[in-house]
Amino acid sequence: MSGIVSYGFYVPKFRIKTTEIARSWGKDSQQILNSLKVSEKAVAGQDEDSLTMAFSAAQNALNFDDIDRNQVKGVFFGSETPAYAVNPSSTIIADFLGIENNYYLAYDTQFACKAATGALVSALAYIEKNAPGYALVCGSDKANSKPADALEFTAASASVALLIGTEDVAVEIIDTLSYSSDTPDFWRRSGSNYPNHAGRFTGKPAYFTHVTNASTALLEKNNLKAEDFQYCVFHMPNSKFPVQVARSLGFEKHQYEDSLVVSYLGNSYSASSLMGLMAVLEKAKEGDKIFFCSYGSGAGSDAFIFEVTGNLEKRRQEFAKVVDQKEYIDYFTYRTFMEPSGHGF
């Protein structure tokens, strides 16, 4: 058995409401709320970045007496907002975690919002070849956008860490399948502070094509249908896309509603779909099957079939309690936190 032995997450305490962003630019807040169905989002502080958030999430994943940090044989960091353009975050995280075994594989991955799930596929294969031991996968982003751009209403901050292993598995990874193509719906050139996107093009030819094809192929490969799962989780650029794709695949509201954290946390990019998984794991029971599919612009999707084991109970994290610890900020403070220079705009 291979899969998630433990997990952790980090959500910054700061929040900004969609209505506050809309008010600052004189836009119709109700129209935006109706379109995106995102009421507020999490915002990293001025002294936080993808690296510090990943460390916090990883610390939570490893904070158990029966987990030996020196048995970590791989550390992988996925993000589209890395703290350094040149210098891996994975080795910094390992050092901060006190991993004294220097014989571990480390690298950072970049594939927009599926950077971490791509690393998860690699980590799973790597640890199966090097068991016993663990591989740590972190997905973390402090997502930013051009002021007044449509992305500003959803681009958020958060981090998730998954400890992958073959013993005491809490969530078994039954199977995985990926679907990829050259579909440039979202990009950020080197040296640019903000990403660009192709508007509505990000929908049907990008998100829906890749998520649908990856999901359908994995279900058919395993001879499973939507009704065989207790939960489903899809990447969440907003609240409409995951609901639409879930319904098209045959999933019902009770299977996807717990995962829709984007409505109150925003889209944390490489942590987005994984944050949905965090919310589901707070409620999932032994034997529950979870269908999961990420999406990364450029473009690709990684689909997974998870099954919960009896070991989840001793690793379960309090997601809702952490999320409820929040402090609202105004738009000027938000821009000050998010500007690369740290000096506002």
For residue 101, the surrounding DSSP H or E stretch is none
Catalytic one of 40, 113, 197, 210: 113
- DSSP line for 191-237: T-SS-EE-GGGGIIIIIIHHHHHHHHHHHHHTT--GGG-SEEEE--S
**Residue 113 DSSP class:** B
- Angle between helical axes of 209-221 and 240-248 (0-180°, round to 10): 40
Q: Are the C-beta atoms of residues 91 and 138 closer than 8 Å to each other?
A: no
Angle made by CA atoms 108, 111, 115, in degrees to the nearest 5: 55
Catalytic one of 40, 48, 80, 152: 80
Q: Are the C-beta atoms of residues 276 and 261 closer than 8 Å to each other?
A: yes
Catalytic one of 48, 197, 232, 235: 235
**Is residue 235 flagged as an active site residue?**
yes
**Catalytically active residues, by annotation:** 80, 113, 235
